C-alpha cells in the first residue's frame, strides 16, 4: 500500500522551472487541506505573500528569490539597461507585499546585487545566474536552520518543557524551522522535549501550523490559548521559550508575531530563559531600535469574523489588529543565529559573531 504523504513530505517553497512557477503550500487552508499552489504571475506571488499563503520570514525570502527570478525570466530584451529597469520594477512590486519581514527585502536586494554586478554579461547569462542563486538561497536557508538548531540545542536539556509562539517551524522555512530546529534535532537525539504551542491569535498559526507539523513529526506537543502561558509557567512546566522573528534591530529589539512581547514579559517574571531564533538575514543593523520597525496593521475581519459562522463583535466596532509587536532586547536571554548566540549588548555582540560578508551588507 502506498504511504500517504504528510505535511512534512511537502516542500514549503519550490521552483517549477519547466512551468515557470513558484510552488507553495497554501498555508491558509491548513490543517484541514494540504493544497499546492502553482503561482505563475507576479500578481499571484505578491498576493500569496500578502495573504500569508506563504509566510514565515525565511520562507518569504525563499519565495521572493524564486519570484524575482521568474520575473527576470519573463523580461524580453537583450539590452542590459532595459533589463535592469524592468527587473527593478518587478523588485519594487514584490517588496511592497509586506512591510515588516526583512527577509523579503534581503532576498530581493541579494538578487539585485548580482544583476548590478554583471553589466557586461548577456541577459540570458544573468537569468541563469539568478536561477542558480534562487536555488542557493533556499539551500542556504536549510543549512542556516540546521545550524540554528545545533546552536540552540546546546542551551537546552533533555526532558525540558519548551514554549513557542506562532509558527517558526518547517512551514516557515525550507526545512527544520528556526525556533523549532532545536526541537527537531532534539527529537533525533532522544531529548524528549515537551512542547507547548500558543494558538497565536488572531490567525492561529500556532494551532493550525505549529501544533500540526510537530504532531505530524511525532513530538509531544500540547496546544494552549495565548492567555494560558502564565499558568504553565507558574506550575514550573516551562524551562525555556523559543520563538522566531521577522526582524531584529541593531540593539536587539525583535519584531515577531503579535503576543511575543507578552510571553517575554512572563518569562522574565518567572525567570525562564527567552530565546529568539533568527537567521542572520533577519538581523537589520540599519534599523537602530524596534521603534523604527514598521508594524503591519491587518484587516479587522481577522479578529471579528474569520473563524466564526457569524461575526463575534458588534458591527462597526473599531479593531486593533497589528500583525507584530516588538520585544525589548532587555527581555531576551539570547538571539540564536547560525553563527552563534548573541547576548548582552547586542549591537556589539552581532558584530562579534557575524562574519565580514554579512556585515558588509549594512551601512557603516
Q: Are residues 180 and 245 in the same domain?
A: yes
User: Does the residue 201 lie in any domain?
Assistant: yes
125 classed as catalytic: no
Residues 107 and 187 both lie in one domain: no
Report if residue 293 sits inside a domain. yes
Residues 192 and 89 in one domain: no
**Per-residue pLDDT for 241 more than 60?**
yes
Residues 51 and 153 in one domain: no
Q: Are residues 226 and 166 in the same domain?
A: yes
pLDDT at 255 over 60: yes
CATH number of the structural domain spanning residue 125: 1.20.120.420
- Taking the complete model, does pTM exceed 0.75, yes or no? yes
Say if 14 falls within a structural domain: yes
Tell me: do 88 and 229 sit in the same domain: no
- CA torsion angle for 56, 62, 68, 74 (degrees, to 10)? -120
Domain termination site, one of 144, 172, 206? 144
Instruction: Give the pLDDT band of residue 364 (cuts 50, 70, 90).
Output: low
* Pair 125, 155 in one domain: no
Q: Is residue 164 part of a domain?
A: yes
| Contact call for residues 300 and 121 (beta carbons, < 8 A) | no
Residue 244 pLDDT > 80:
yes
Q: Which of residues 144, 168, 193 is at a domain's end?
A: 144
Percent of the chain with pLDDT over 90: 94
User: What pLDDT is stored for residue 361 in this prediction?
Assistant: 75
Q: Is there a single domain that holds both residue 232 and residue 177?
A: yes
pLDDT of 2 reads 58
The CATH code of the domain that includes 167 is 3.40.50.10470
Residue 209 shares a structural domain with residue 276: yes
Q: Kindly state the average pLDDT of the residues 187-205.
A: 97
Binned at pLDDT 50, 70 and 90, residue 360 comes out as confident
Classify residue 259: in a domain, yes or no.
Answer: yes
User: Residues 88, 200: one domain?
Assistant: no
Element (H, E) at 197: strand 194-198
148-163: average pLDDT: 98
Question: Do 123 and 152 sit in the same domain of this protein?
Answer: no
| Residue of 62, 246, 284, 325 marked active site | 246
How many helices (H) and strands (E) the chain has is answered by 13, 14
Q: What confidence tens digit (pLDDT) does each residue in 312-326 have?
A: 999 999 999 999 999
Q: Taking all residues of the chain, what is their mean pLDDT, rounded to a whole number?
A: 96
- If one counts the domains in the chain, the total is 2
Burial class (CB in 10 A: 0-12, 13-18, 19+), 163: buried
Q: Residue 31: give the domain boundaries.
A: 7-144
> 124, 144, 164 — which closes off a domain?
144
User: Is residue 2 assigned to a domain?
Assistant: no
My answer on whether 48 and 180 are in the same domain is no
CA distance 206 to 27: 12
pLDDT at 100: 79
Q: Is residue 253 part of a domain?
A: yes
Is the residue at 119 inside a domain? yes
Amino acid at each position: 500500500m502506498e504511504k500517504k504523504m504528510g505535511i512534512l513530505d511537502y516542500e514549503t517553497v519550490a521552483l517549477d522551472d519547466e512551468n515557470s512557477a513558484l510552488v507553495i503550500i497554501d498555508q491558509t487552508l491548513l490543517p484541514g487541506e494540504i493544497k499546492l499552489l502553482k503561482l505563475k504571475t507576479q500578481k499571484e506571488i505578491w498576493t500569496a505573500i500578502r495573504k500569508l499563503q506563504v509566510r514565515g520570514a525565511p520562507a518569504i525570502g525563499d519565495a521572493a528569490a524564486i519570484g524575482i527570478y521568474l520575473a527576470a525570466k519573463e523580461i524580453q530584451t537583450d539590452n542590459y539597461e532595459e533589463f535592469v529597469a524592468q527587473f527593478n520594477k518587478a523588485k519594487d512590486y514584490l517588496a511592497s507585499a509586506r512591510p515588516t519581514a526583512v527577509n523579503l527585502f534581503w532576498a530581493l536586494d541579494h538578487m539585485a546585487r548580482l544583476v548590478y554586478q554583471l553589466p557586461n554579461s548577456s541577459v540570458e547569462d544573468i537569468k541563469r545566474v539568478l536561477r542558480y542563486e534562487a536555488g542557493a538561497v533556499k539551500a542556504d536557508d536549510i543549512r542556516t536552520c540546521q545550524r540554528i538548531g545545533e546552536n540552540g540545542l546546546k542551551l537546552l536539556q533533555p526532558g525540558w518543557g519548551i514554549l513557542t509562539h506562532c509558527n517558526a517551524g518547517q512551514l516557515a522555512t525550507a526545512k527544520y524551522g528556526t525556533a523549532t530546529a532545536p526541537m527537531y534535532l532534539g527529537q533525533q537525539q532522544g531529548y524528549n522535549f515537551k512542547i507547548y504551542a500558543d494558538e497565536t491569535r488572531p490567525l492561529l498559526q500556532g494551532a493550525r501550523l505549529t501544533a500540526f507539523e510537530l504532531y505530524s513529526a511525532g513530538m509531544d506537543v500540547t496546544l494552549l490559548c495565548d492567555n494560558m502561558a502564565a499558568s504553565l509557567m507558574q506550575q514550573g512546566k516551562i524551562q525555556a521559550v523559543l520563538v522566531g522573528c521577522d526582524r531584529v534591530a541593531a540593539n536587539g529589539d525583535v519584531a515577531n508575531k503579535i503576543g511575543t512581547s507578552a510571553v517575554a514579559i512572563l518569562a522574565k517574571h518567572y525567570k525562564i530563559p527567552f530565546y529568539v531564533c533568527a537567521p542572520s538575514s533577519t538581523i537589520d543593523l540599519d534599523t537602530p531600535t524596534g521603534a523604527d520597525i514598521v508594524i503591519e496593521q491587518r484587516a479587522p475581519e481577522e479578529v471579528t469574523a474569520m473563524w466564526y459562522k457569524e461575526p463575534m463583535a458588534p458591527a462597526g466596532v473599531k479593531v486593533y489588529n497589528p500583525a507584530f509587536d516588538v520585544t525589548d532586547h532587555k527581555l531576551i536571554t539570547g538571539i540564536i543565529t547560525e553563527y552563534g548566540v548573541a547576548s548582552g549588548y547586542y549591537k556589539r555582540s552581532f558584530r562579534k559573531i557575524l562574519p565580514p560578508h554579512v556585515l558588509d551588507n549594512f551601512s557603516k
